[in-house]
Chains A and B, each alone.
Chain A
C-alpha cells in the first residue's frame, strides 16, 4: 500500500460522516422542496432557511420513548432498522467519488452494491414480520415481492454498462466513459435502472411497502423514536446511493470539464436526488398489481432487449 493510513482513515470517516449528514439534511431538503412545489415555504423556522430543522427533529426523536410493543419479536425488531443503515453505508464504501476519494477499489464493486441493496430488503421484511402487526406484515410482504421482482432487471439493466466497459469495477467504468457518458448508448438501461432504483429504495411513486393510505405506515407502523428515524435515514441514504450510482454508471461519475472532480460528482448526484424528490411531488402511486405487471411485462423485456441489442452491437463492431 502506497497510500498513507491517515488518508485511508480520512476517506472512511469522511465518507461515513458525509453520507449520514447528507441523508439527515435530505429530510429537510425534501420537505423544503416539496413545500415549494406545493406553493408553500416548507420548514423555514429553525436556523437559517430552516436548516437546523434536522437538529430539532433529531432531538425530538432521541427524547421520544423507545417503545417496543409487547407482542413484537424483540431481537429482530431491534435488528431490522440497523440492517438497512448498515447495508447502505457499506455500499458507500465502493463508490468512487473522485480519483482520490473512495474507501475501497473492489474489482466487483458493482456486484457488491447490488448484493448490499438486496440485503437491505431484509430490514423491511424483518421489520414487518417482527412487528407482529397486520399492516406491517402486509408492508413487508409487498416489499419482498417488489424488491425481488425489481432486483431482476435492476441487475440486467446494468449488464449493458458492464459489457461496454468490460469491468465490474466502478472506477474502471468511470474511466471508460472518458470518451462519452453511457447515458446515450445505454439510455434504456438508464431509464430501467432509474425506475428499479426508485422501487428498490421504496420511494414514491413506488412506496407501496409503506403506502400511508392503505397500510397506515406499512412495515414501520410499530416503530417509534430513533428506530423509526433510522428507517428514514436509511431510505434517504438509499436515495443518495442510487443517485450516486447512476452518476457513476451513466453520467460519467467525476468526469467533466473545468470544475474539480468532487464538484462534478456532487452536482450530478444532487441533480438526480432532486429528480427523485420531484417524482415524489408529481406522480401518484400505482396499484400493487399494476406495479408488478409493469415490472415483469414492461421493464424486464425492455432490459432483456437492451442487453441483446448492446451485445449484438458490440459483436458487430468487433
Chain B
C-alpha cells in the first residue's frame, strides 16, 4: 500500500516536466479543424444567389429551436427566405441544421468567438448570416441540379436530368 502511494506521488511529480495540455487562449489560439462546428453562416451558390430555399428543415431539426425563417417566392419561381434569424444565445452548435439542409445553404464555420455585452446582439438576422462565398461546397448550385422549373430553366433542363416523359404522345 505504501509503495503504491509513493509511486503515485512520483508519477504526479513527473508531470512537473511535462508540456501543458492547455493553451494560453487569447494569445495562443487552439487549432480548429476546417469542419469545426462554430458560428453558422448562410452561403451563396457559385452565381452569387442565396442558396437557402426556405424549406424550414433546419428549423425543424434544430434541437434548441433557435432558427426561425419565413418563406417567400420570387417572380422567377425561386423560393427564398423573407427573413432568417438564428438566436446564437440558444444555439448549441450541434450541426444538425447543416445535416438537414438540402441545398448546402446553412453551414457551420470554425469560429466560436461571439461574445456580446448585450444578449439581444446574439440574435443574428439574415444580413448578418449571409456570406459572399459558397462555403465548403464550391460548385454546388441547387437550381441547376434540381428538377424544379424556374425562370430560364424548364422541367427536364437541369443537369443530369432526363426530359420529362410525354405520357400523351404515341412515340413511346
Interface residues of A (CB under 8 A from B): 33, 36-41, 278-279, 281-283
Least Cβ–Cβ distance between B9 and chain A, in angstroms: 4
Q: Is B31 an interface residue (CB 8 A)?
A: no
| A37, B5: Cα distance in complex, Å | 16
Candidates B9, B12, B16, B20; contact of A40 at CB < 8 Å: B20
A279 touches B16 (CB 8 A): no
| A281, B21: Cα distance in complex, Å | 17
| A39, B15: Cα distance in complex, Å | 6
| A279, B11: Cα distance in complex, Å | 12
SS of B interface (majority): helix
| A107, B12: Cα distance in complex, Å | 41
Interface residues of B (CB under 8 A from A): 5, 8-9, 11-13, 15-16, 18-22, 24
Least Cβ–Cβ distance between B1 and chain A, in angstroms: 11
A283 touches B9 (CB 8 A): yes
A282/B8 contact (C-beta < 8 A), A36-B16, A37-B16 known: yes
In the bound complex, residues from chain B placing their C-beta under 8 Å from that of A40 are 20-22
- Some 29 contacts from A to B, beta carbons below 8 A apart, are A36-B15, A36-B16, A37-B13, A37-B16, A38-B15, A39-B15, A39-B19, A39-B20, A39-B21, A39-B22, A40-B21, A40-B22, A41-B20, A41-B22, A41-B24, A278-B9, A278-B12, A278-B13, A279-B9, A281-B12, A282-B5, A282-B8, A282-B9, A282-B11, A282-B12, A282-B13, A283-B5, A283-B8, A283-B9
In the bound complex, residues from chain B placing their C-beta under 8 Å from that of A41 are 20, 22, 24
SS of A interface (majority): helix
| A19, B164: Cα distance in complex, Å | 91
In the bound complex, residues from chain A placing their C-beta under 8 Å from that of B20 are 39-41
In the bound complex, residues from chain B placing their C-beta under 8 Å from that of A278 are 9, 12-13
Least Cβ–Cβ distance between A117 and chain B, in angstroms: 24
Which chain A residue has the least Cβ–Cβ distance from B6? A282
Least Cβ–Cβ distance between B134 and chain A, in angstroms: 40
Which chain A residue has the least Cβ–Cβ distance from B8? A282
Least Cβ–Cβ distance between A298 and chain B, in angstroms: 11
Least Cβ–Cβ distance between A40 and chain B, in angstroms: 4
Least Cβ–Cβ distance between A99 and chain B, in angstroms: 33
| A269, B8: Cα distance in complex, Å | 23
| A41, B18: Cα distance in complex, Å | 11
| A40, B21: Cα distance in complex, Å | 6
In the bound complex, residues from chain A placing their C-beta under 8 Å from that of B13 are 37, 278, 282
Which chain B residue has the least Cβ–Cβ distance from A34? B12
Least Cβ–Cβ distance between B144 and chain A, in angstroms: 51
